[in-house]
Structure 1
Amino acid sequence: MTGRTPPLAGADLWQAVLAAAAGRCQCRGACGKSHAKDGGRCNREHGGHQQHHGGTVHLIAAPAEPATLLLPAHQAAALPKRDLAAWCPACHDAAQRTARKARHDTAPATEPDALF
């Protein structure tokens, strides 16, 4: 892995998650992309460069399951290593949007409050 600079908080956990992921984003399509060209897994590596918009990729440790990506930050921060995955920001953000949309689409419709 190149450019392996840990975050200010939770460095040990972050390093353990990145080591388990071999420094590569662990998205396997939760972002909406098939990643078919890369064997079904995102090819972005920590410290590498993004293809389209340039810049360095900084992987994050976040909940592995798309539904748990919607946990409040204090709950996500308390998850054990086995429930975390390495995500590139693009896949993480897209997977969160997909999870929000799925939650919104499955939420029961609420009746409007009566005026009187």
Structure 2
Amino acid sequence: MNRVPPLGDGGLWQAVMNAAAGRCQCRGTCGKNHAKDGGRCPHIHGGYAHRHGGGTIHLIAAPTDPAGLLLPPHQAAALPKQRLAAWCPPCHDATRTTARKNQQASAQVAEPDALF
């Protein structure tokens, strides 16, 4: 498996990848149930994506909690490895989009109706 660390803290990234065994840790928060793969995304770091343009999969170490994916980069980078998971780009992007939509929906409910 090709494990080239990112430019940031390669040790932290490597620890997250080791804990994930080099495989995306999404279990359906992206909107797919990953049922054919035991409930977990099948993408592995250095593997090949067969859809959406293909190419080599480069896993990302990002917050485990979907709401955490909305943190500013400097706050996400400060999280300990226990709060990080390995994400493939398609699962990361889909989960982040869903979290953003949920955040916007809850913000709209919390705002009172304006009179004017």
Report which stretch shifted further, 101-110 or 8-17.
101-110
Number of aligned residues: 113
Match of 1:7 in 2: 6
Identity of aligned residues (%): 63
Kindly provide the CA deviation profile for residues 21-56 of structure 1, in whole angstroms up to 9, marking residues without a partner as x.
Answer: 000000001101000000000000000000112100
Find the aligned partners of 2:28 and 2:9 in 1 and give their Cα distance. 26
Match of 1:97 in 2: 97
Alpha-carbon distance, 1:110 to partner: 4.6
Match of 1:59 in 2: 59
The unaligned stretches of length 5 or more in structure 2 are: none
Structure whose residues are more often helix by fraction: 2
Find the aligned partners of 2:63 and 2:80 in 1 and give their Cα distance. 9
Kindly provide the CA deviation profile for residues 59-116 of structure 1, in whole angstroms up to 9, marking residues without a partner as x.
Answer: 01000010111111110000000000000000000000000011111112354585xx
Find the aligned partners of 2:31 and 2:70 in 1 and give their Cα distance. 16
Find the aligned partners of 1:70 and 1:87 in 2 and give their Cα distance. 14
The one-letter amino acid paired with 1:80 is P
TM-score by length of 1: 0.93
The unaligned stretches of length 5 or more in structure 1 are: none
Alpha-carbon distance, 1:8 to partner: 1.1
- Secondary structure at the aligned position of 1:67 is classed as helix
